[in-house]
Chains A and B, each alone.
Chain A
Amino acid sequence: MTNPAVAVHGLTKIFPVPFHRQSIVAVKDLNLRIDPGEVYGLLGPNGSGKSTTLKIILGLVSPTRGRTEIFGGDSRLVESREAVGFLPENPYFQKFLTGEETLHFFGRLCGLRGAALKNRVNELLRLVRLDRARNRRLGTYSKGMLQRIGLAQALIHDPRLVVLDEPTAGVDPAGSREIRDLILNLKERGITVLLSSHLLAQAQEICDRVGILADGVLVREGHLQELIAIENQTELVVADASDELVRDIESLLSRSNAKLIERRKSTTTLERLFLEATKNDEGTTKQK
């Protein structure tokens, strides 16, 4: 039996408040299992304990009770982080470094050197579509570009698990779409992705399974389609149907026990509309 990519057992984190008797329970008795290759979304409102959970998994914060494992190893051990890449919420990198220098710095931290490091940096800059901006200082990067260089640094040591804390927070729809595509690419390659978000529509598009946290407690968990399916309802989306055919279907429905709840024209999403409207002549979305 393979080890789960992430296993969380009975995790509780209590933050004491200095000079006060009460304390804050950030996470309460949390149990999670994320299998290799999954895209798992940890959802919840602000302050629900998502970031704390991620930090405990990454060994940045110690649990009050319980334990966390990465691919079977204790996540508090530094060597367990060889398998992990992390993109924090609103990452801030040193503005005086260029995109290329930033990746070189993080690559060297992970033990990469020479031609291997150079090749890796080139590949990642191509992957996150920043090869043209490689020599620009990060101080001149847009929010979306910073997120993408952040994702590149998370991938620099070829991790098997990527942890993303609000990866699209503050990014415009075009940048957000690019990050989403990159996450789907990681999934295609078999990399496990654990992301936290409160942007539900986006999580719905990319996650295999989700867990919903509220006040530090896991209130729902499961496969996305199972969680959001409405058991007694069925949707039919029909193209090129004549008015007569639609009337026939409605009449068939009225003769049965089934009830027609809604009839409407299919619409595109606001995001798709935005992306089409802001595309330039070369077919790419405009950037700052």
Chain B
Amino acid sequence: MTNRENASTLQQFDASTRAKRYRALSLSRILTITRNTLIELTRLKVFYVLLVFALLLIGSSIFMAQFSFQQEFQILKDVSLGAISIFTSLLAIVATARLLPQDMEDRIVYTILAKPVPRFDYVVGKIAGVLLLLAISTLVMGAAFLIVLYMREQAALHATMRQLSGAPPDQLADALRAVRSSAFDADLFPGIAIIYLKACLLAALTLFVSTFATSTIFTVVVMAFIYFIGHLQATAREYWLQEHGNALITRVFLAVVTLLFPDLQAFNLVDDIVAGTAISLAVFAKTAVLGIFYTTIYTLLAAFVFYGKEL
């Protein structure tokens, strides 16, 4: 094609093909970045490795038939919910830590932000992509766990029916009810939801750290420290309050520490669920609001730091 032919192709562009006027906050623009981020993340091998490990761990619970059914269900819930919690947390940190540094290293961020795309939309689109990935992972792992639990429940019900085939109907019904009540528990759903919110919080915090970190490794290391401190800080806080009383300065200091290192132990409802303790609506709502609050705050902080960043 000659220059002149190319030029005539260009002249076909007219007002109908022009982009819409710029808007400061555009949901469709954010969704475009979210979709692209999700596709990018699902291409990562680490995503599949973590998912396969978690599913294997959950699946391996099938082979614990040597225990009584109560013990078996308890271990199954403990192992599976623990696996979902650890793997979603790991995925949140590993997937988010590379998002911004990789885009900067590859200069993709230049091509995106040189278009009429506000940095806020870019950051929100990126984190939304991670949250979507975490939602998919949590759903897959949660579904695998519930399927395994259902299979083990059915096996236990058949075994009970076989064992009590000659027993009176009332005794058989009581025994089956006991199996069902120790297998499925409605608190499992809020428990899994809180695990997801904890992963969202970690993702948002990782994004915030990555806005000023010098490398992906640095972000991951910092997040590993925050993860452990976050699980220990509730105990440390209680000890500090006992030692230093309830003075204003102490409470301000603790509030700052709590903002920097969120109380991750507060999101650990798994132990209660496994022990059979009911999760009240108030506890669930309080924990969920705390998770959403932290996720929002860290995302806004990340957007704020990224806004002033020299690219």
Contacts of B114 in A (CB 8 A): 58-60, 81, 84-86, 88, 163
**Which residues between 18 and 60 of chain B lie within 8 Å of chain A, taking CB atoms?**
18-24, 26, 28-29, 32-33, 36, 39-40, 43
Q: Say which one of B5-13, B147-155, B181-189, B219-227 lies at the interface with A.
A: B5-13
Contacts of A89 in B (CB 8 A): 107
Instruction: Please name the residue on chain A nearest to B39 by beta carbon.
Output: A96
A107 and B19 CA atoms in complex are apart in Å by 8
Q: Are B17 and A111 in contact (CB under 8 A)?
A: no
Q: Say which one of A27-35, A118-126, A193-201 lies at the interface with B.
A: A118-126
A38 at the interface (CB under 8 A from B): no
Instruction: Please name the residue on chain A nearest to B310 by beta carbon.
Output: A61
B112 at the interface (CB under 8 A from A): yes
CB of B77 to closest CB in A, whole Å:
38
Query: Do A158 and B6 form a contact, CB below 8 Å, given A91-B107, A92-B106?
Result: no
Q: Are A96 and B19 in contact (CB under 8 A)?
A: no
Q: Are B13 and A158 in contact (CB under 8 A)?
A: yes
**Which residues between 236 and 261 of chain B lie within 8 Å of chain A, taking CB atoms?**
none
CB of B277 to closest CB in A, whole Å:
46
B115 at the interface (CB under 8 A from A): yes
11 extra interface residue pairs, beta carbon distance < 8 Å, beyond A90-B107, A157-B116? A55-B311, A58-B113, A58-B114, A60-B311, A78-B117, A81-B117, A82-B116, A94-B40, A96-B40, A111-B116, A120-B17
Query: Which 8 pairs across A and B sit closest by C-beta, in order of nearness?
Result: A86-B114, A111-B20, A92-B106, A110-B19, A157-B19, A108-B32, A111-B19, A60-B311
Q: Report which A residues bind B (CB closer than 8 A).
A: 15, 55, 58-62, 78-79, 81-82, 84-94, 96-97, 105-113, 116, 119-120, 123, 126-127, 129, 150, 153-154, 157-158, 163, 181-182, 184-186, 188-189
Q: What are 13 A-B contacts defined by CB distance under 8 Å? A: A55-B110, A60-B110, A78-B22, A78-B24, A94-B36, A94-B39, A109-B112, A119-B17, A120-B17, A150-B111, A163-B114, A181-B6, A184-B3
